[in-house]
Structure 1
Amino acid sequence: MTYPAYEPDPYQPPEPPSAPCDPLAAALGNASLLGIGYLMLRCWKLAAFTLIGTVWLLNVAASTASTWAEILLLLWWAAGIAHGWSLAHGRAEHVVRRGQRAGALAVTLAVLLTAGLLRFDAYGIEDRVTQAREGGDCEAAVAAQGEVWWGHRLAAAPVLEPGEAAVAACHRLENAASALADVARTGETDDLERGFRILTEVLDEPGNEQTVRTVLDAFLDGLPTEDPCATADITGWLHDRKPTRDVLDRSAATAARAEPAALTGCGDDLMAEEDWQQARARYQYLLDEYPDDARTDKARSGVAKADRALELAQVRRLLSGTTGVDSGYCARPVKYSGAPPYRKGLNQALFLGDAEYTDKLPAGWRTPDPTEAALVVCADTAEHAASVETCSYENDRSEYLPHEVTFYKIKIPLKVYALRTGKRIDPREVQISGGSCPGVLHYKSYGTYDLGPGDQFVSTAKSDVRDAFRPVVER
């Protein structure tokens, strides 16, 4: 019978005995959140896991600034303590190690005391931020929140969250203040709208009423600005802003105080720049919105002056476009209320159209300036009026002569307008008398055949023209 060869079992070194442990020391060590209790128990992986978990939870608490993250961290802390105590009790040998207890207690107390002091300091910082914000002092609030460092955030992120929100609101208010400062310089209502939009958004967040009031007051205290037109644009926008039943409605009272003077000053400046249309609009707005203001008399005078300037500008445009009786002012007359009235006696006139005869009138009757003219006289091309005399002329070079030539008075069709009213007045024509049948009649012949001079106007002197036009300019 054959027996198998005996082979001894491989050598197994004896397991080292578990290290004597102190459950209280393990629990105290884990209370530090650093896994020190696990290190005492030589549970290296648990110690590393605990440290990583603590770092991750602290990061979550600091980044989210949420109460639930702090509660989760507190549960992690309690679980570490309980697990350390339970794990140590599961060991075979318990030994009271006062040195471990003292060391674990010292580390844990150091961690908890540091966290407590940081949290206490965080509350103090936030109290100062709150006081500054309630006092409307964004600069002080930002300075107080600037004392916060990462240790405060690890220990008390939720406590610091309102201060962070306050600082964010203050930075937005800085943007609003910058936009409103630009408005004060330029009068651009786009910047004004942007500034008020930011103020409204910040005001919708609780606790920011005083800081918003401070920014708004600084802007309103800068009104009126040095430029009355910029002030008028600003106050006009504030005047038209719909009430929101909050601190921003205070701007309406400032607008009501500053706007009338701004409108008057702006109208005066625009008049000086000959921007009649805009100047009139400013004066009229004052009359419409503030009828009881002391400046209404000046505004009415400004409206009248602007109206006259606008009328004069239109008259000048029409005059410059007049080439005959069917164009420019002669075709589309308008009034100029600043013109001299059409009165008894001699009235100066603007003579337009055919100037062959009107240029012979006395200089005192004519003026190129519409501000000095009471009349506008549009003269058409001369026509034959009544016949005066018919004479016979001979010319040896023409087989058609002797030839009878009829002389006619000169008729000038007219359009006469009173410039002050723009209405047409009489006469509708003038007839100029003159000499007829001169001893020698000079004329030009054209072509091969000389047909004679044809019918002729009477010959006129300046006195004849003056006598004909006198009823036009004299009333």
Structure 2
Amino acid sequence: MNHPTYGQDPHRSADVPPGPAEPPRTRPPCDPVTAALGNASLLAIGYLLLGHRWSAAFAVAGTALLLALTASTAETWCEILLLLWWAAGIAHGWFLARRRAEHGVRRGQRAGALAVTLAVLLTVVLLRVDAYGIEDRVDEARESGDCGTAVAAQGEVWFGHRLAGAPVVEPGDAVVEACHRLERAASTLADARRNGNTEGLERGFRILTDVLSRPGNEQTVGTVLDTFLDGLPTEDSCDTADITGWLRDREPTRDVLDRSADTAARTEPAASVGCGDDLMAEDAWQQARTRYQHLLDEYPDHARADEARGGVEKATLAIELDEVRRLVENTSDAESGYCDTPAKYSGAPPYRKGSSRALFLGDTEYTGRLPGRWRTGDPAKAALVVCASTAENGAAVETCHYENEKSAYLPHRVTFHKVRIPLKVYELRTGKRVGPRQVQISGGSCPRVLLYEYYGPYDLGPGDQLVSTTTSDVRDAFRPVVKR
């Protein structure tokens, strides 16, 4: 029995007719609703059901590209474009299915497509609703000035939220960035407050100003500022004075940062006084006076202004006394140091009627013999500064003749003079010159025997001599200097 064969057998003759052709492949049946529902899932299920694999691949690639673009840019137009792409996929699936000759309804197929699409859409809706909830909490935390809570809430955002609602969660990213910048500002300001570094203050306030320039950050900036201001005053009064001085001099910006001026006005006066006191204890009198005077210049009617005035007086006296001491230490004779450049010490005892203690400088050959109650070595206790020059011949008292050992006919003629001491007398309280410009000390003259050094054959004799003085003579001569 002969069986029909298909295809070409090389052993058969060419005149044998070929068998029947292979029937064409048919695409799987899919109705328009099922195709549309499948494509509505954005997973190209409709194209797969229709057997259009290349269309499915293109649709999935386009969806992925648009989702990535939306997640990265967080722009609304990207979401609109994605929505149009979604609608186009649905319409295209419907159109392709309608062109099919056979599109019988398969309920299981339609139910599966519907289930997948509903799952995708429900996931998107839930993620977007959750995204709105997260951003509401971020906004509430920011409006209350709580950066920590805002950052924690935004930390709940994950990739799914960005795919389903990137424009919704994107503002929260800006809040987190602002909070991180405010954290750096808070750290910078804290260091500046701890060290009294005004450069750090400037950097910190620059960050606050920049963050404040973007809407919605008033409360978070205010929280950072209040935390910084609540740390004033610091333990170091001078650091506090430097910080509050910078805050006071800061140009007003008519925003929340201007609250710092109120803190400066409340804190600076006490800080200035405290800093002045600390500097006085360290013998930094010039800086102390500057601090006290600053308070009087900026807050003349403040309750602590009297303390500042007293501080200025004390510092001024200390400065004057320090200068007097320096000049005294540099005095070697009546033409140097204080004697050459007198200075006042306003805290010196007044130069008044009665006895006044004096600081004797220069040649002390005679002033060293004065009573102790007239002298003092402490400039702070002296009413006068007396600069004594080297003694010289004063008024002639008596002329006597002494035997000349070389010639009895040519006796030595010796004139005795009072001890004349040129003086510069200064009232220490004013630094002005007062009193006599010299004193002459009386004493004994013409002793029976006059001793002098002989210098050879050409020696002409002892020459003029000073009288011999006693302690009482010196005291009598200087009494008009220390008594008025």
- TM-score, structure 2 as length reference: 0.88
**Selected match of 2:325 from 302, 316, 331:** 316
Q: CA shift at 1:419, angstroms?
A: 0.3
Percent of aligned pairs with the same residue? 73
Corresponding residue for 1:209? 218
Corresponding residue for 2:123? 114
Output aligned runs, 1:279-290, within 5 Å.
279-290=288-299
Letter in 1 for 2:283: E
Q: Secondary structure, in 3 states, of the residue corresponding to 1:159?
A: helix
1:370 to 2:379 alignment:
yes
Q: Secondary structure, in 3 states, of the residue corresponding to 1:334?
A: coil
Q: Secondary structure, in 3 states, of the residue corresponding to 1:371?
A: helix
Q: CA shift at 1:234, angstroms?
A: 2.7
**Selected match of 2:174 from 156, 161, 165:** 165
Output aligned runs, 1:343-358, within 5 Å.
343-358=352-367
Q: Distance in 2 between matches of 1:434 and 1:287?
A: 59
**Selected match of 2:271 from 262, 278, 300:** 262
Letter in 2 for 1:273: E
Kept after mapping to 2: 8 A contact 1:18/1:92: no
Corresponding residue for 1:32? 41
Kept after mapping to 2: 8 A contact 1:432/1:465: yes
Corresponding residue for 1:53? 62
Q: Secondary structure, in 3 states, of the residue corresponding to 2:314?
A: helix
Q: Distance in 1 between matches of 2:81 and 2:456?
A: 121
Residues 5-33 of structure 1: CA distance to partner in whole angstroms, max 9, x if unpaired?
A: 99x99xx9876344444443333222222
Kept after mapping to 2: 8 A contact 1:393/1:401: no
Q: Distance in 1 between matches of 2:147 and 2:220?
A: 6
Q: CA shift at 1:414, angstroms?
A: 1.0
Range with bigger deviation, 146-155 or 252-261: 252-261
Q: Secondary structure, in 3 states, of the residue corresponding to 1:223?
A: coil
Residues 155-212 of structure 1: CA distance to partner in whole angstroms, max 9, x if unpaired?
A: 1111012211122222222222223333443332223333322222222211122222
1:301 to 2:305 alignment:
no
1:197 to 2:186 alignment:
no
Letter in 1 for 2:63: T
Range with bigger deviation, 200-209 or 111-120: 200-209
Corresponding residue for 2:135? 126
Q: Secondary structure, in 3 states, of the residue corresponding to 1:293?
A: coil
Output aligned runs, 1:46-445, within 5 Å.
46-393=55-402, 403-445=412-454
Q: 1:152 to 1:455 in 2, by over 3 A?
A: same
Q: CA shift at 1:351, angstroms?
A: 0.9
Letter in 2 for 1:55: A
Letter in 2 for 1:46: S
Range with bigger deviation, 140-149 or 24-33: 24-33
Q: Distance in 1 between matches of 2:279 and 2:448?
A: 66
Q: Secondary structure, in 3 states, of the residue corresponding to 1:389?
A: strand
Range with bigger deviation, 91-100 or 338-347: 91-100
Q: CA shift at 1:92, angstroms?
A: 5.0
Q: Distance in 1 between matches of 2:407 and 2:101?
A: 161
Q: Distance in 1 between matches of 2:145 and 2:460?
A: 104
Letter in 2 for 1:464: D
Q: CA shift at 1:467, angstroms?
A: 1.8
Residues 63-121 of structure 1: CA distance to partner in whole angstroms, max 9, x if unpaired?
A: 21111221222222223233333344445543434333332222222222111110000
Range with bigger deviation, 266-275 or 417-426: 266-275
Corresponding residue for 1:471? 480
Q: CA shift at 1:123, angstroms?
A: 0.3
Letter in 1 for 2:157: V
Q: CA shift at 1:445, angstroms?
A: 4.8
Q: 1:54 to 1:402 in 2, by over 3 A?
A: farther
Q: Secondary structure, in 3 states, of the residue corresponding to 1:339?
A: coil
Q: CA shift at 1:350, angstroms?
A: 0.7
Kept after mapping to 2: 8 A contact 1:445/1:451: no
Q: CA shift at 1:422, angstroms?
A: 0.8
Q: Distance in 1 between matches of 2:460 and 2:409?
A: 6
Instruction: Count matched residues.
Output: 468
Q: 1:98 to 1:409 in 2, by over 3 A?
A: same
Q: Distance in 2 between matches of 1:258 and 1:47?
A: 72
Range with bigger deviation, 420-429 or 32-41: 32-41
Q: 1:184 to 1:398 in 2, by over 3 A?
A: farther
Kept after mapping to 2: 8 A contact 1:333/1:422: yes
Corresponding residue for 1:461? 470
User: How large is the Cα RMSD of the aligned pairs?
Assistant: 2.9
Q: Distance in 2 between matches of 1:387 and 1:179?
A: 83
Q: Secondary structure, in 3 states, of the residue corresponding to 1:350?
A: strand
Q: Distance in 2 between matches of 1:402 and 1:52?
A: 141
- TM-score, structure 1 as length reference: 0.89
Q: CA shift at 1:446, angstroms?
A: 5.2
Q: Distance in 1 between matches of 2:338 and 2:349?
A: 18
Kept after mapping to 1: 8 A contact 2:27/2:51: no
Q: Distance in 1 between matches of 2:224 and 2:425?
A: 65
Q: 1:38 to 1:394 in 2, by over 3 A?
A: farther
Kept after mapping to 2: 8 A contact 1:398/1:452: no
Q: CA shift at 1:368, angstroms?
A: 1.0
Q: 1:89 to 1:400 in 2, by over 3 A?
A: farther
Q: Distance in 2 between matches of 1:315 and 1:80?
A: 99
